[in-house]
Every structure is written in structure tokens, then in C-alpha cells.
């Protein structure tokens, strides 16, 4: 069964899928993206990710490539044609193809590409995995609220992590506070059992769809979340630490910069919120949250 990709309305073999060399996504990273987890054939937080995609496009004045309905249809068609039940669907939208010029082109349509990758959602294995993080300076631009494909700072951060045997890099601002992971939001648990995560105000981080879902779930469960920046020093001393993202879901972090967090295993609260998220994301009868950009 060949893998299928989607390029501007066509379903094509993955190895032949291509955009033009003058596509602005390639030339300028003039593009945004979204990732949705597919779990047991169900799309986790689809509405939230499409809400955020629309917002990222609006912020950059890139036209929606298709109506939301058409995009939802194409996502399902990708799932059907690839016969994948557990995976991740990537959607990338660029400002389209035009002769190279920094200014917006006066005409032309956005490019829409979708790719689907298999993944495994073995939750016991994820809880048992020893996931390490390292800290790196956050060298990104100031509009981190937009999910752009201009990811070179994150590429360098992830590489630095990989070279130290870690899976994630927690990026740190000039004042010593953690902003977020290179492809995830960062969380710690303090001694009182409060969840602490950086606020999304001032556009210093991406407002994660998984993060928003967790906020709503914790509210219902009366688990206290304190939205405030935390330092690297605080993270070293935290009872638990984890990241949230559509790809890694809730991923325990058991070591930061070589320092053991808690007892060096996935924390109880981390496991609890992972279970809550899985129930929510895979329950087709439960209406999934809309993503609130504010
Ligand atoms: N990344 N922060 C950054 C910088 C991210 O790239 C991501 C997601 C998140 C978490 O957002 P969400 O919960 O909506 O996935 C936070 C995706 C998974 C990626 O780049 O592959």
C-alpha cells in the first residue's frame, strides 16, 4: 500500500509529492502548519487545531486554502486512503508560489500540503519511557503565538537535545525563565501539587491546543493550575515535570540538564493528566473543546 500525501487538492504517492521551487514556504518559510493526532481512527482536538490554523493564517494574512469543511473532508480522505488508525496528520499552508520577492504576491492561491505519519499511542510505554530534557537559550522571534514553519531555532534546539541524549529542549528567556519546549509546552508540578505553566499572554509561547484541553480537564477535576513563568532552577527542584503537545501528548520529563526530577520516574499527577487527556481525546461522544485564542 503506497503512502499517500495531499498537495493542493490531489492525493499523490508520498514519494512523488512536491511543491514548486518558488513556493514561498520553501523560499521564505512564509507558511504555517498544524499537527493533529489520530488515535484509533479518531482525530484528537481537530476543532481546536483548525481554529488555531485559521488564526495563524489570519495573523499572517495568508488566505485559507480551502473551506474548513473541505479541509475536514480532505483530512478524512487522507486517513482513509492511507489506512492508518494511529498517526499524526501534518497540514502545511504557504502563501503560494510566485517569483521570488519578499513582498506578498498580488495574486495566486495558498498552497496546502498534508502528510500522514504512523505513530503508536501505547500509554503504559509512554509512562515508562525515560524522557530527558535539556535547556537552551530561546533565540526565536517575538510572535511565538503563530504556528509558523520557520522552525530553525527549534531545529537547533532539538539537535542540541539529541546530542545530549535528550528528547526535548526547554527554551529559556533572557531572565532565566522557561518559555516552552522546542515542540511542546512545558509544565512542572510544585511541592503542593499545583501544575505550573507559563501564561500565553505577550506571545512568548505557542498556545498549545493540548495545553488548552488540559486546562479545561483540570478545571473539571479540581486540579489547580497556576499560570506563571517558572525558572530553570525551579524546574530542577520540581516534584514532577512534563510537556504537552499533539505529538507527544503528555510526556513525563524525568531529567533536566542531567538533574533527576522527583524520583526519576513519571509522576503521579503527570500520569493522571495523561489518562484524563486520553479519555477526552478518544471519546467520540464527548464534544471536544474549541480553542480560545485569547
Ligand atoms: N508542536 N509549543 C511549540 C513551540 C510547539 O511546536 C508545539 C507543538 C506546542 C504544543 O502545541 P499543541 O498542543 O497544540 O500540539 C507548543 C507540534 C506538535 C510539532 O511541531 O510537531
Taking Cα atoms as reference points, which of 128, 184, 125, 119 lies closest to residue 158?
184
182 CA: nearest ligand 1 atom: 4
Architecture of domain 4-121: 2-Layer Sandwich (3.30)
Q: Which of 42, 107, 132, 147 is catalytic?
A: 147
Taking Cα atoms as reference points, which of 143, 141, 114 lies closest to residue 56?
143
pLDDT over threshold 90, residue 212: yes
The residues, any chain, with a CB within 8 Å of residue 102's CB and separated by 6 or more, are: 28
Sequence spans of domains, the chain:
4-121, 124-281
Pocket of ligand 1 (CB under 6 A): 35, 180, 183-185, 206, 208-211, 244-247
The Å distance, Cα 150 to ligand 1 centre, comes to 13
Residue nearest to atom 19 of ligand 1 (CA): 183
pLDDT over threshold 80, residue 69: yes
Measured distance CA(139)–CA(230) in Å, rounded: 18
Residue nearest to atom 2 of ligand 1 (CA): 184
| Average pLDDT across the chain, whole number | 96
Which of 139, 208, 248 is the best mutation target for the ligand 1 pocket, counting ligand atoms within 8 Å of the beta carbon and taking the most? Answer: 208
Band (278; pLDDT cuts 50, 70, 90): very high
Taking Cα atoms as reference points, which of 294, 293, 240, 234 lies closest to residue 262?
240
The answer to whether 4-121 and 124-281 have equal CATH topology is: no
Measured distance CA(231)–CA(39) in Å, rounded: 34
Measured distance CA(241)–CA(187) in Å, rounded: 6
The Å distance, Cα 174 to ligand 1 centre, comes to 22
Band (285; pLDDT cuts 50, 70, 90): low
- Predicted confidence at residue 293, as pLDDT, reads 80
pLDDT over threshold 90, residue 1: no
Domain 124-281 has CATH 3.40.1180.10: no
pTM of the full structure:
0.97
Residue nearest to atom 5 of ligand 1 (CA): 183
- Predicted confidence at residue 286, as pLDDT, reads 64
205 CA: nearest ligand 1 atom: 2
Annotated active-site residue 132? The verdict is no
- The C-alpha angle with vertex 34 and arms to 133 and 164, in degrees rounded to 5, equals 15
pLDDT over threshold 90, residue 87: yes
Measured distance CA(272)–CA(11) in Å, rounded: 39
- What average pLDDT does range 20-41 have in this prediction? 97
Band (294; pLDDT cuts 50, 70, 90): confident
Which of 206, 280, 292 is the best mutation target for the ligand 1 pocket, counting ligand atoms within 8 Å of the beta carbon and taking the most? Answer: 206
The Å distance, Cα 210 to ligand 1 centre, comes to 9
90 CA: nearest ligand 1 atom: 21
The predicted-structure confidence for 145-203, as pLDDT tens digits, reads as follows 999 999 999 999 999 999 999 999 999 999 999 999 999 999 999 999 999 999 999 99
DSSP string, 181-242: ETTBEEEEE-TTS-EEE---GGGSS---HHHHHHHHHHHHHT--EEE---BHHHHHH-SEEE
Amino acid at each position: 500500500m503506497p503512502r499517500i500525501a495531499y498537495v493542493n487538492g490531489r492525493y499523490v504517492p508520498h514519494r512523488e509529492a512536491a511543491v514548486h521551487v518558488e513556493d514561498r514556504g520553501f523560499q521564505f518559510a512564509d507558511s504555517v502548519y498544524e499537527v493533529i493526532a489520530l488515535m484509533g481512527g479518531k482525530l484528537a482536538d481537530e476543532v481546536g487545531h483548525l481554529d488555531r490554523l485559521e488564526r495563524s493564517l489570519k495573523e499572517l494574512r495568508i488566505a485559507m486554502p480551502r473551506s474548513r469543511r473541505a479541509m475536514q473532508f480532505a483530512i478524512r480522505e487522507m486517513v482513509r486512503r492511507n489506512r492508518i488508525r494511529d498517526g499524526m496528520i501534518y497540514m502545511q499552508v504557504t502563501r503560494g508560489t510566485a517569483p521570488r520577492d519578499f513582498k506578498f504576491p498580488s495574486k495566486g492561491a495558498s498552497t496546502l500540503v498534508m502528510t500522514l505519519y504512523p505513530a503508536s499511542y501505547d500509554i503504559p510505554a509512554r509512562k515508562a519511557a525515560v524522557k530527558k530534557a535539556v535547556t537552551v537559550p530561546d533565540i526565536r522571534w517575538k510572535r511565538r503565538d503563530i504556528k509558523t514553519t520557520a522552525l530553525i531555532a527549534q531545529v537547533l534546539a532539538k539537535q542540541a537535545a539529541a546530542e545530549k541524549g535528550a528528547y526535548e529542549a526547554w527554551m529559556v528567556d533572557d531572565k532565566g525563565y522557561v518559555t516552552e519546549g522546542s515542540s511542546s509546552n512545558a509544565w512542572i508540578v510544585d511541592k503542593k501539587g499545583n501544575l505550573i505553566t507559563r501564561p500565553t499572554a505577550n506571545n512568548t509561547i505557542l498556545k498549545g491546543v493540548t495545553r488548552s484541553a488540559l486546562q479545561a480537564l483540570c478545571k473539571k477535576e479540581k486540579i489547580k493550575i497556576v499560570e506563571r513563568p517558572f525558572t530553570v532552577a525551579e524546574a530542577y527542584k520540581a516534584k514532577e515535570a512534563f510537556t504537552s503537545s499533539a505529538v507527544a501528548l503528555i510526556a513525563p520529563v524525568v531529567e533536566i540538564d542531567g538533574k533527576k526530577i522527583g524520583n526519576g520516574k513519571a509522576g503521579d499527577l503527570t500520569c493522571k493528566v495523561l489518562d484524563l487527556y486520553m479519555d477526552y481525546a478518544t471519546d467520540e461522544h464527548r464534544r471536544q473543546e474549541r480553542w480560545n485564542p485569547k
